Each structure stands twice: as structure tokens, then as C-alpha cells.
Amino acid sequence: MSRPSMDDRLPAKLAHKASRSTGLELDDLLQEARLAYWKAKHHGSYDPHKSAWSTYSYISVSRHLWGVTDSHRRKYPDCEELSDEVPCGDPSPEDRAIFMEMLRQLPDDARTVVDLVFSGAPELSSATPARIRQVLRSALGWPADRVNEAVRHVTAILREPMVRRAPVAHHS
């Protein structure tokens, strides 16, 4: 096995460190670190009068990896990070049915937002809430207040505890 080049030592070191501290796949983090290093080297705003190259590249790669790991943490929180009220793992069929009923009770605009967000659109997968609203406005052609109202409905229903209710007996 060959020794890593000088250009690969820093990304490798920081990727290993990030992988150990987060548990994310080393190969994925190494690719992200190499990409950040390459961008810093070829497209960055390095100024030798402000800092040494090693300092600039270290900060550039570290910030990028922090962003990647933070984004992953927001998308896939650990069970330990979730409250005791949220069960870990796959939902039971009963919980899934309750959730689907809650979604059916949403107003039409809110259901449209849910459908679009869960459609797997790549621009929504790791976007900030503000960016998600911007994409929704653009994709749906809605004004900001309409999107915000639909998002408020969705947020409110997602924050409601999933209370298991006994089926209501219908008397004829």
C-alpha cells in the first residue's frame, strides 16, 4: 500500500477523527474531506498574508466535515437524542395507522406540502427550513404566507403526541 500524498494527509486525518467521533462511514467522510480540500486549493480564497496554507486548509476541511456531520445528525438523530416519547425503530402497524389518519386530517395545502417533502426531491433532503420553504414556494407557485400556513399545520400535527385511542363504536 502506498503512502498518502501530502495533499491527502490532512483530509485523511480529519476524516478519521470525524469518523471516530460520529460513527459515520470513514469512506464517505474521506471523500467529503478530499473534496473540501480540493475546493480550498483550487477555488478557495486563500490569502498567504492572512494565514499559512496549513491553517487555511485545516479550517476549510474541518468546517466542511462539521457541516456534513451536523446535517447527518439532523436528518438521522440517534435514538438516545430523541425524547422518551418517541419510540426508536420502525413504527408499529398501529402507530403507522394513527399517523396516516393524522395526515388525512390535514388541510389540502398541508397534505400537498407533505407529499412534496416526502417525494424524495434531492433539493429538500438536507435543506434548512428556510430553504425548504423557498423550494416549496417555487415548486408550488404559492405565496410565502400560503406555504407558511401549510407548514404550520404540518408542524403542529407532527408535534402532537401520538395518543392511542380506542376505536369509536358507531351505534346504528
CA–CA separation, 116 and 68 (whole Å): 24
pTM for the whole thing?
0.46
Eight-class DSSP state of 2? P
pLDDT for residue 89: 63
Query: Quick check: 168 pLDDT over 60?
Result: no
CB-based contact 113:151 (threshold 8 Å): yes
Residues 29-65 have pLDDT tens digits of 999 999 999 999 998 788 889 889 989 999 999 999 9
Residues 85-102 have pLDDT tens digits of 555 666 778 877 887 888
Query: Domain extents for the chain?
Result: 6-76, 93-159
